[in-house]
Structure 1
Amino acid sequence: MVQLSVRVCVCRPGGEEWVDSSELVPGDCLVLPQEGGLMPCDAALVAGECVVNESSLTGESIPVLKTALPEGPAPYLPEAHRRHTLFCGTLILQARAFVGPHVLAVVTQTGFCTAKGGLVSSILHPRPLSFKFYKHSMKFVAALSVVALLGTIYSIVTLLRNRVPLGEIVIRALDVVTVAVPPALPAAMTMCVLYAQSRLESQGVFCIHPQRINLGGKLRLVCFDKTGTLTEDGLDVMGVVPLEGQEFLPLVSEPRRLPVGPLLRALATCHTLSRLRDTPVGDPMDLKMGPITDSTFGTQVLAVMKPPLQEPHLQGMVSPGGACGARGVGGPPVSPQRPSALQRMSVVVAWPGAAQPEACVKGSPELVASLCDPATVPADFALRLQSYTAAGYRVVALAGKPLPVTASLEAAQQLPRDAVEQQLSLLGLLVMRNLLKPQTPGVIQALRKTRIRTVMVTGDNLQTAVTVAQGCGMVGPRERLVIVHAAPPERGQPASLQLQPVESFAATNGAQVRLTLSSSHSPPRRPVYTVEPDPWCSHLALSGSSFGVLVKHFPKLLPKVLVQGTIFARMAPEQKTELVCELQKLQYCVGMCGDGANDCGALKAADVGISLSQAEASVVSPFTSSVASIECVPMVIREGRCSLDTSFSVFKYMALYSLTQFISVLILYTVSVSWALGRGARSQQVLE
């Protein structure tokens, strides 16, 4: 797992040269084979693209498309440019060159400085555990050491008084130390954890940090990702809601019947799919978008849309050749950030006969609507969106616009993201259904019965998250749920906070409780809250933007919200990590269960991180379940409690055993007698 030595091709001044991977240094230019292979270092992709399996690092079983690093003055940052970085230990499934004959990457890190090296280092040297049992155990062992020192002094004095030979005195004095501080204590404590680890492995749960098994027995709060964790991985497309003018049309259950136009082109091309041995691979949502438009993959472009020939009214609406191509998948090289952090993605599309390229954008409806020209957004946009999210559907907004300032696709790809993603025209809504896993409600109810808090942390829409939480039992049918809306200071107004019952949230009207905080631009004074959250409120739900406002402008109110918070929606990966850390500050022993790369930070920050991955083990979290079900959470808690209880019992047994033997030995030394060593010998020996 740690040592990796392969032959790689490196560009040298005299030409290409094959060297051992151990000789690589940052700055070397690698020529990647098109058939793929293991990466021996971290490298930035500068030419071509690669389909990479990163399951050994992130636990994400879905292959990831890596594109070439965009041109520009911005410095290279591994975290910001993850979509353009090949990490050590990952498997390149396929490499393709577009400009030139080779796929090129520049080495950025080697050895323990790589992402894999850092993870291996964290395994070898994990962060210290803040566990009272371990702290008290060390204090007790220290106390036993003091007792052993006193016993040693007493035994030396006693043996000298009894005129025992000096050599015998040294041996007997050292015996007292080993009796008072049992040397078998660490081994006995380790065996408790190892048995629990073996039982977890037999149930498909792998652990790389055995010390955290005992922490599983102390869990009082567990955070869950939604998509792929609480709900199924796959998405069922319910249909598309097209837009005509400023009015939404009825839901079209078969998008392939849509007329050829911007909406159909956006559905067919706005994705991150790639071909792997003639099979499309990529995000599950993108995989569902291809079949609904009858899209196929060509050899020169990443996506080709062909209209169905059986529909007479669609014939003759495309230029000869009947295809439109797309390039710049995952957003043209205009942004180094990940789509999960941006909550959107963009592509630049060109098709035969088009006067200029076209930009297509998809993402969260609220964000995409904010990027669109207000004249193209219907007045009932929020109501229509809420009607779908309240029913538990996942909604993605589609927008686009022509790029008249560019004459070619290559020129369009040099535009910055801000120039592409402004004054867009809203095209429609893609409505998908994400069903709960059958095991989810039972597990959630079992956790709640044992007084373990369950929290949902998702990047999906707030209303969709509320519906899923109510469906799986996180929020009971008779329990109150209040939506928290927070707004930052703007136009001289202080930061504000609104508490809105879920009934009024669904009806878009109703009483609201308003909280205000002095603006940060005002003279410094102690913030005064006019109203605080209802202490009888069972659950609070808030979005990532509201969470950010709470952290920055309402730090004293944040703990009260976190204590009652159950649903956190539209959370960026960094916010998930921050949420886990804030909960730990409240003395919670926090567990995190997720399935994707977006949860890596939270999984590592949590006291007990459980990754749902098809890989045998993932180094991104202490626990990895090979079965994509949250049933592994009760398993970890159950085995953690068993291990913790056994550890307590073993520790008490070893401590009492050592103290009993210690006192017995001192009494026998006092009367000049020691324990017999042989079974057939006399039970006592007189010290002479």
Structure 2
Amino acid sequence: MKKCPCYHMNKLRVRGSASVHLEDVLENTLNRININAQVSITLNLTRLIVNFKRVILQAIVLRTAYSTLKGQLVRSIMYPKPVDFRFTKDLFKFILFLACISGLGFIYTIIVMIMRGNTIRRIVVRSLDIITITVPPALPAAMSVGIINAQLRLKKKEIFCISPSTINTCGAINVVCFDKTGTLTEDGLDFHVVRPVKSTKIENVEENIEKDSIDFMGELTELTSREGLPFDGDLVKAIATCHSLTRINGVLHGDPLDLILFQKTGWTMEEGAGDIEEETQRFDNVQPSIIKPTDDKEAEYSVIRQFTFSSSLQRMSVIVFDPREDRPDNMMLYSKGSPEMILSLCNPATVPEDYLSHVNAYAQHGFRLIAVARRPLDMNFNKASKVKRDAVECDLELLGLIVMENRVKPVTLGVINQLNRANIRTVMVTGDNLLTGLSVARECGIIRPSKRAFLVEHVAGEVDDMVNLTRLHLLLLPLFSRYRHLMMSLRRCIYQFFQIISQDLTLQMFF
């Protein structure tokens, strides 16, 4: 056996087969998260609350830096795109057109004055004078002085403009649009009254309709104190349970409207959390929230399922279970939303005949209305947690109306009056009831009290000559408004130009 020489080295080469490793198939966890769903996306600095302490959360970062909405806003401020104003383009086109006319006048003046035998100095001075009259050389300087003066006046009002060229464009604004809630009116809503439905329990529904026993209460039930609440009514149960409130560090958080209504009921909410044994297991369903009235210690209501509010659906719903019920499959659905949407989902036999008249009466005074309805459900816990929304939000029983007040801001009237004095048209953009928006518009001065307002309804399948004429007028109105001032200025310039070159006496007045 031969001895091998031994060398001291400070390097080591290891092959892949010699390294210790573990081969396993990686699980595709991306399929668990639907990144296209709005519920699966959380914004920056959003606090995630988990009932189970030992559950490991998994999150995917979708956008960072300038790809986020905040990053795009910062980038647009730091590196603004060159703004292409149509007003500036039209201005340069107009000046170019005047320059062409002045060129023709320049040539015409030279020819006429040469034929009359004038001196060269007189010909040059009067020919150049035609150009300076048509295209004023002091126009850029005058516009710069006006922009600087306007910027200084804005600065005195603590309005800082980083793009002075936009000031001229703002001067051409003739319409200003305002959002109603939070802009013209206060941010929050104040509770006004509640109008429950008064119904006489009769077995035969047809007799109930004939006797006209379904009607709103004659007097308003003001919820200004806890003593005024009908605690045993289903309307109060719906108000106390149908919401999306949650507790964060012991404090209720959620939609301000839901928070105001829940505080008016005086009920309490307890959010369930699993024990140590449940935390180690994976369940599809979390322990429901418990809603309890303060006066009845034995009563409690569990919110089994919650259908969140959707602006397209104009409603939200919850499925509630009462543990005191003998049957475990006796559930109750409470739903609230816009009066028009709830009306379309309710059983006509449960809707009073004067429902729309009450809705319109409150809307005409600027109140915001919320309709509340219910429906008994014959299903167990598992079925209630998996049932589709459309399957249960139908054939509802109307419970009543909640009337909220949204006051106009004190500064709104002064701002609207100032815009009206400047002949700037003001428009209110809102998704509320038309009559509510009309009332707020009259209160803040967008619609003057002496003016009449008309509500136009579209009837499907009926298109007459008046509708076609209105469409043509709406199409031509922006085009006419855009070029009206340009054509009037052009007509005046052409008239003055021909008046100058028609008589030699007119030329004498400029010297």
Cα gap change, 1:117 to 1:28, in 2 (>3 Å): farther
Match of 2:302 in 1: 325
Please give the alpha-carbon distance, in whole angstroms, between the structure 1 residues aligned to 2:72 and 2:320.
39
Give the 3-state SS of the residue equivalent to 2:196 in structure 1. strand
Please give the alpha-carbon distance, in whole angstroms, between the structure 1 residues aligned to 2:321 and 2:288.
11
Match of 1:248 in 2: 216
Cα gap change, 1:258 to 1:584, in 2 (>3 Å): farther
1:346-425 matches, within 5 Å, as: 346-354=317-325, 355=328, 356-404=330-378, 406-408=379-381, 411-425=383-397
Please give the alpha-carbon distance, in whole angstroms, between the structure 1 residues aligned to 2:76 and 2:64.
16
Cα gap change, 1:195 to 1:28, in 2 (>3 Å): farther
Cα gap change, 1:340 to 1:466, in 2 (>3 Å): same
Aligned residues: 384
Contact 1:324 1:352 in 2 (8 A): yes
Match of 1:95 in 2: 48
- Tell whether 2:50 aligns with 1:105: no
- Which stretches in structure 1 are left out of the alignment for 5+ residues? 1-12, 16-26, 30-43, 47-68, 70-75, 145-179, 310-314, 333-337, 489-493, 495-515, 518-527, 533-553, 564-582, 589-688
Cα gap change, 1:425 to 1:483, in 2 (>3 Å): same
Give the 3-state SS of the residue equivalent to 2:312 in structure 1. helix
TM-score normalised by length of structure 1:
0.48
Give the 3-state SS of the residue equivalent to 2:418 in structure 1. helix
CA root-mean-square deviation: 4.2
- Tell whether 2:224 aligns with 1:224: no
Residue 324 of structure 1 aligns with an amino acid whose one-letter code is Y
Identify, as 1 or 2, the structure richer in helix. 2
Cα gap change, 1:561 to 1:136, in 2 (>3 Å): closer
Residue 407 of structure 1 aligns with an amino acid whose one-letter code is N
Give the 3-state SS of the residue equivalent to 1:467 in structure 2. helix
Give the C-alpha shift of residue 454 in structure 1: 0.9
Contact 1:274 1:281 in 2 (8 A): yes
Give the C-alpha shift of residue 189 in structure 1: 10
- Which stretches in structure 2 are left out of the alignment for 5+ residues? 1-23, 100-136, 200-213, 273-286, 483-511
Contact 1:359 1:402 in 2 (8 A): yes
Cα gap change, 1:382 to 1:285, in 2 (>3 Å): same
> Could you give the per-residue CA deviations for residues 124-161 of structure 1, whole angstroms, max 9, x where no partner exists?
354744341366369979x99xxxxxxxxxxxxxxxxx
Give the 3-state SS of the residue equivalent to 1:476 in structure 2. coil
Q: Report which structure shows greater RCO (CA 8 Å, sep ≥6).
A: 1
- Tell whether 2:254 aligns with 1:282: yes
Contact 2:314 2:338 in 1 (8 A): yes
Identify, as 1 or 2, the structure richer in strand. 1
Give the C-alpha shift of residue 110 in structure 1: 4.5
1:128-147 matches, within 5 Å, as: 128-133=83-88, 136=91
Please give the alpha-carbon distance, in whole angstroms, between the structure 1 residues aligned to 2:150 and 2:25.
56
Please give the alpha-carbon distance, in whole angstroms, between the structure 2 residues aligned to 1:108 and 1:102.
19
Give the C-alpha shift of residue 357 in structure 1: 3.3
Q: Which has the larger radius of gyration?
A: 2
Match of 1:648 in 2: none
TM-score normalised by length of structure 2:
0.63
Give the C-alpha shift of residue 339 in structure 1: 2.4
1:602-617 matches, within 5 Å, as: none
Equivalent of 1:457 in 429, 435, 438: 429
1:490-639 matches, within 5 Å, as: 494=461, 516-517=462-463, 528-529=464-465, 532=466, 557-558=470-471
1:2-151 matches, within 5 Å, as: 77=36, 81-87=37-43, 90-92=44-46, 94-98=47-51, 101-120=55-74, 122-123=76-77, 124-126=79-81, 128-133=83-88, 136=91
Match of 2:403 in 1: 431
Give the C-alpha shift of residue 451 in structure 1: 0.8
Please give the alpha-carbon distance, in whole angstroms, between the structure 2 residues aligned to 1:324 and 1:475.
47
Please give the alpha-carbon distance, in whole angstroms, between the structure 1 residues aligned to 2:324 and 2:82.
60
Give the 3-state SS of the residue equivalent to 1:396 in structure 2. strand
